[in-house]
Amino acid sequence: MNPHKIVIALTKGRILEEVLPLLEKAGVIPSEEIGSSRKLLFDSNLPDVQLMIIRGSDVPTYVELGSADIGIAGKDMILEYGSQGFYEPVDLKIACCRLMTAAPVGASLDSPRLRVASKFVNIAKQYFSSRGRQVDIIKLNGALELAPLMGLADCIVDIVDTGKTLRAHGLEPRDFIADVSTRVIVNRAAMKIKHERIQSLLQRLQAAVDATSAGRA
Give the binding site for ligand PRP (CB under 6 A).
142-143, 158-165
Toward ligand PRP, which CB reaches closer, 167 or 195?
167
Which residues are 185's β-sheet partners? Answer: 71
Distance in Å, CB of 126 to ligand PRP, minimum: 19
Provide the terminal-to-terminal Cα distance of the chain, rounded to the nearest Å: 40
Distance in Å, CB of 139 to ligand PRP, minimum: 14
Toward ligand PRP, which CB reaches closer, 107 or 159?
159
Choose among 121, 154, 113, 158: nearest CA to 137: 121
Distance in Å, CB of 18 to ligand PRP, minimum: 13
Distance in Å, CB of 20 to ligand PRP, minimum: 18
Strand-pair category, 97-104 with 171-180: antiparallel
Toward ligand PRP, which CB reaches closer, 27 or 163?
163
Toward ligand PRP, which CB reaches closer, 100 or 198?
100
Contact (CB, 8 A) for 86 and 64 = yes
Distance in Å, CB of 21 to ligand PRP, minimum: 20
Distance from C-alpha of 140 to C-alpha of 132, rounded to nearest angstrom: 23
Contact (CB, 8 A) for 120 and 99 = yes
Toward ligand PRP, which CB reaches closer, 11 or 50?
11
Largest CA distance in the chain: 58
Strands of the sheet containing 49-54, edge to edge, are 41-43, 49-54, 6-11, 70-74, 182-187, 86-91
Distance in Å, CB of 163 to ligand PRP, minimum: 5
Contact (CB, 8 A) for 202 and 90 = yes
Toward ligand PRP, which CB reaches closer, 183 or 194?
183
